[in-house]
Amino acid sequence: MSSTSREGWGVTNLRLAFPKKNAMLFKDLSFDYQRGEKVLLLGPSGCGKSTVLQVLSGLIPHSIELPMRSDRQEVPNNWGFIFQDPDTQFCMPYVDEEIAFVLENRCIERAQMSELIQRYLDMVDLKLENNHQLIRTLSGGMKQRLAIASILALEPEVLFLDEPTALLDPNGTEQLWKTVRQIGKDRTLIIVEHKINHVLDFVDRVVLFNQHGEIFADGPKQETLARYRDKLDEFGIWHPGIWSDYEKNQIGNQINSEHAESILELKNFAVLRQKQVKFSADHLCLNRGEWIAIVGENGAGKSTMIEGIMGLLRTNGQLRWSFDHPENHVQFVFQNPEYQFVTDSVEDELAFSLRVNKMNEEEIARRVDEHLERYALKAQRNQHPFQLSTGQKRRLSVASAMINHPDVLILDEPTFGQDAKNTFALLDIFQQLRLAGTTIIMVTHEMEIVHHFATRVLTVENGRLVNDCVSSEGGEERNRGQRLGEHEQVVF
Amino acid sequence: MDNVWASTNKLFFKINPSLKFLLISSLFIVYLFVQNLNTMIWASFFFLILYYLVSGLAGKWSFWFVFLTLIVSLFSASAMIMFGKGSHIIYHQSLILITQESLARGLLLGLRTFTFSLIGMIFATTTLPVPFFYSLMQQLKVPVRYAYGCLAAFRMIPIMAEEFLHIRQAMRVRGMTRQKGIKPLYERMNRYSLTMLAQSIRRAQRTAIAMEAKRFSMTERRTYYYEIGWSRIDLYFIVIMLLTVTLGFVFAAYFPLTPFTNVLDH
């Protein structure tokens, strides 16, 4: 259990099983690493990378009790673990208290604490006016950096990072890796990650897992990645150049919108949250068949805008749909799909809104089958929505919105937290829908999606609609490119 | 949520939370044994004044809390007033029977509820969770795991509130709120509890693992970021509380507003 050799750690012949599952997750898996190494673990979702990380840190079986067996489990004396979810890593309400919690665990004298807290916050470049600030007022990226600061307070020699940027936007992701790079210089890093653009610069060893939880490649970064490049696409890993790969295989993503039938008009429109105007637009007119991307920084008011359009928040001014009953023509997909599941099986979930509209059961059955097929959920039809994988949950939420055949689909960061494979599957679906005449309105941080798919880009800044550029055909295409360049500078 | 506190700098915030907790709890026991209606009237009057002087709540919130408490007290009084026993009948109509004795007992019960709520609120509105649990660990030797467990739970409350709003929005979007009747209402309730329970269990488990990953151990010795100690303010607090309680009893003795000195006797 404890560390005996000073220079390396690892696990030999690991076998581990999850309760209620017949198959072993690992069969005699061995993995070793040396002091100072920076290792990246890659593999498809559900292959057990995160579990390996928890075994290497001793969290399994010490904190998480799972039936496991190994010939040797050597855990470093001082380690820190960064988890995926920024909201569940803290137990105290304020920033300084959270770091102090770790210092208390280490029995550091009270007199030294304030100084140390400041030092760890400086190390992760988290500059706050007052360290006694509520954690929930921080952005996701800042929370993750605080998580790192509190881990640094353990003075760890080995850092385990379990997809720390999965729930961060591109901006937060970049800053987080910059921080990890700085603090990781003289430490050992073991990283599990799906978005490897910023990670590749500073790791030196890459380990690849297959679906069955076996290591099939392990070696220096360059060689391993060059040899197994095609595997990265298969695993759904975001790697540099994935977009150009995708574009090659893609034909239908040229931008053209011939329809000019107006479906939504906003005039002097304002959205209120707690009696304060959080978004306003003087005039906006959206047309059928457009793919509208809403971009802007965190907290700029993008979500407020679409929630206002959906009538979920109080609004002032004019909001006019070209439909008599907009609730039957407009569908909304939330950022977290779990909130919008209202039944206990995938099948019922799809049928729900049709039953609300009192459609006859034959037609319902037909549509449900059709959508199960189209969104690749056939095998899961009787499962509980909460049991699905992240990608399947997202597909189900889109499918249950689309089953009504709406004219407009509004999405709040639909690709957030999804791996590359799922993202491209979704984008293909949206593209098909748009070509069939559905208007797509989505909030997104991914500028690549904006580049490749959007026919129109709305920029929101400080609660105002500040830019609206339509990109239709030919001559304006170049113009669009330039403008997007501007956006990228603004946004990132 | 953020504008609930008017000021966290008032005198009562600086009292040792353990002392405040113990003294306030003992007051509950004191007033549990008071059977004199006059004492109860004067006590609720003085605690109402004290509450307004020391409460850290913003005015609007404070008002609604007291208002709500009054209504609850009225309910608890009404049962006793309308269905009690007694010989001096004031009003009689089918099941409802109001007598002087039952009126007095009812009023006492209502005022007791009211006083209990006020005392409880004097504590709740002047105590922040972090110093409270630190003090419990340091002065009352409450096991570390319970204290930090409770603190972690406090952190979940705003997250859950936000989650509740999201689910409500999602239900509107899915058309769940368009269904009327008992069964859809039951299903909505079901959905709220299931989703929030599932999320909370998951969050709690993750937080627990994260805490252990930060080397939180339940038995070992630890140091504290906040040392909660004693000060002169604690003395003031004891004096203020004793004064309030004594005033209630003294005024009841010298200025009795009703003839009911023991509601159980008549």
The CA angle A27-A29-A31, to the nearest 5 degrees, is 175
Structural contact between residues A16 and A209, judged by C-beta atoms closer than 8 angstroms: no
Distance from C-alpha of A395 to C-alpha of A389, rounded to nearest angstrom = 10
* Rounded Cα–Cα distance for residues B204 and B210 (Å): 10
**What is the average per-residue pLDDT within A84-96?**
91
* pLDDT reported for residue B220: 65
**In terms of DSSP bridges, do strands A79-82 and A158-162 run parallel, antiparallel, or are they unpaired?**
parallel
Residue among B135, B97, B146, B169 nearest A307 (CA): B169
Alpha helices in A288-419 (DSSP H): 302-309, 326-329, 346-356, 361-374, 390-402
Provide the pairing of β-strand A215-220 with A205-209.
antiparallel
Encoded tokens for B138:
């340091």
The C-alpha of A195 sits at a distance from chain B's nearest C-alpha, in angstroms, of 22
pLDDT digits (tens, 9 = 90+) for A227-285: 998 888 888 888 888 887 777 666 544 555 555 788 899 999 999 988 889 999 999 99
Contacts of residue A156 in chain B, CB cutoff 8 Å? none
A134 neighbors B5 (Cβ within 8 angstroms):
no
Whether A118 and A152 have beta carbons less than 8 Å apart is answered as no
CB contact A307 to B (< 8 Å) = yes
**Residue of A166, A154, A159, A155 whose CA lies nearest to A87:** A166
C-alpha A134/C-alpha A344 separation (Å) is 36
Min CA distance, A249 vs chain B (Å)? 35
Is A332 an 8 Å CB contact of chain B? yes
Mean of pLDDT values over A191-203:
90
- Confidence bin at A327 (pLDDT 50/70/90): confident
pLDDT at residue B175, rounded to an integer = 82
Q: Is the dihedral of CA A448, A454, A456, A462 positive or negative?
A: negative
Kindly state the greatest CA–CA separation across chain B.
69
CA distances from residue A354 to A178, A329, B75, B215 in whole angstroms, order as listed: 48, 13, 45, 51
The DSSP 8-state label assigned to residue A75 in this structure reads -
Answer yes or no: do A104 and B225 touch at CB < 8 A. Answer: yes
B195 vs A90, A100, A338: nearest CB: A338
How many residues in chain A?
A: 492
Tokens coding A122: 């400086």
From chain B, the residues in CB contact with A400 under 8 A are 174
Measured torsion, CA atoms of residues A307, A309, A311, A312, in degrees rounded to the nearest 10: 0
Residue in the structure block whose two tokens are 């609604």: B64
Residue A318 DSSP one-character state: E
Q: What confidence score (pLDDT) does residue B87 get?
A: 79
**Chain B CB within 8 Å of residue A291 CB:** no
- What is chain A's mean pLDDT, rounded? 86
Q: How far is it, in rounded angstroms, from Cα A389 to Cα A116?
A: 41
Count Cβ–Cβ pairs < 8 Å, chain A vs chain B.
Answer: 133
The answer to whether A185 touches A206, Cβ cutoff 8 Å, is no
Q: How close does chain B come to A54, measured CA to CA in Å?
A: 10
Any CB–CB contact under 8 A between A459 and chain B?
no
Could you state, in order of their start, the residue ranges of all structural domains in chain B?
Answer: 11-131+230-265, 144-213
pTM, whole model, 2 decimals? Answer: 0.86
pLDDT of residue A476 exceeding 70, the answer is no
A8-16 vs A72-74, strand pairing mode: antiparallel
Question: At residue B218, what is the residue type?
Answer: M
Contact B223, A109 (CB under 8 A): yes
pLDDT one-digit tens code per residue, A133-185 = 999 889 889 999 999 999 999 999 999 999 999 888 888 899 999 999 999 98
pLDDT in tens, B102-121: 889 999 999 999 999 999 99
Q: Which range among A146-160, A178-192, A413-427, B139-153 shows the weakest confidence by mean pLDDT? A: A413-427
Prediction ipTM score: 0.85
Contact: B215, A59; criterion CB under 8 Å? no
Nearest to A352 among B154, B174, B224 (CB): B174
Name the residue among A120, A106, A202 with its Cα closest to residue A161: A202
DSSP assignments along B87-149, one per residue: SSEEEEETTEEEEHHHHHHHHHHHHHHHHHHHHHHHHHTT--HHHHHHHHHHHS---HHHHHH
- Distance between CA atoms of residues B112 and B73, nearest Å: 8
Nearest CB among B176, B215, B227 relative to A106 is that of B215
Which residues in chain B have their CB less than 8 angstroms from residue A310's CB?
Answer: 173
Interface membership of A276 toward B (CB under 8 Å): no
Q: Best of B1, B174, B200, B201 to disrupt the A interface by mutation (most A CBs within 10 Å)?
A: B174
pLDDT of residue A2: 47
To the nearest whole Å, the CA of A267 is away from the closest chain B CA by: 23
Distance CA(B128)–CA(A148), nearest Å, equals 27
Q: Is pLDDT at B165 greater than 80 in this prediction?
A: yes
Query: What is the C-alpha to C-alpha distance for residues A31 and A48, in angstroms, rounded to an integer?
Result: 13
Contact A13, A27 (CB under 8 A): no
Burial grade of B223 (CB within 10 A; 0-12, 13-18, 19 or more)? middle
pLDDT bracket for residue A481 (50, 70, 90): very low
State pLDDT tens for residues B189-229: 988 998 899 889 999 999 999 999 999 986 668 899 999 99
Which pLDDT score is estimated for A485? 36
- Tally Cβ neighbours within 10 Å of residue A382: 10
Chain A's closest residue to B190, CA to CA, is A342
One-letter identity of residue B29: I
pLDDT score of B123 more than 90: yes
- How does DSSP classify residue A310? T
Sequence-separated (6 or more) residues with CB below 8 Å from residue A190? A33, A39, A41, A53, A56, A158, A159, A160, A161
Q: Is A457 helix (H, G, I), strand (E, B) or coil?
A: strand
Contact A208, A55 (CB under 8 A): no
Q: Does A355 touch chain B (CB under 8 A)?
A: no
A150 to B214: CB separation less than 8 angstroms, yes or no:
yes
Query: Which tokens sit at B8?
Result: 């966290």
DSSP code at position A382: T
Contact B210 A81 (CB under 8 A): yes
| Domains with residue ranges and CATH for chain A | 8-246 (3.40.50.300), 262-483 (3.40.50.300)
Interface of A with B in 112-171 (CB under 8 A): 113, 135-136, 150-151, 154
Q: What proportion of chain B, given as a percentage, has pLDDT over 70? A: 96
Distance separating alpha carbons of residues A197 and A187, to the nearest angstrom: 21
User: Which helix (DSSP H) or strand (DSSP E) does residue A448 occupy?
Assistant: helix A447-453
> CA-nearest residue of chain B to A307?
B169
Work out the number of other CB atoms within 10 angstroms of the CB of residue A178: 13
Backbone angles phi, psi at B147, to 5 degrees: -60, -50
Residue A474 confidence class, pLDDT cut points 50, 70, 90? very low
Whats the size of chain B, residue-wise? 266
In this structure, is the dihedral angle defined by the CA atoms of residues A227, A230, A233 and A236, taken in order, positive or negative? Answer: negative
CB contact under 8 A, B166 and A334: yes
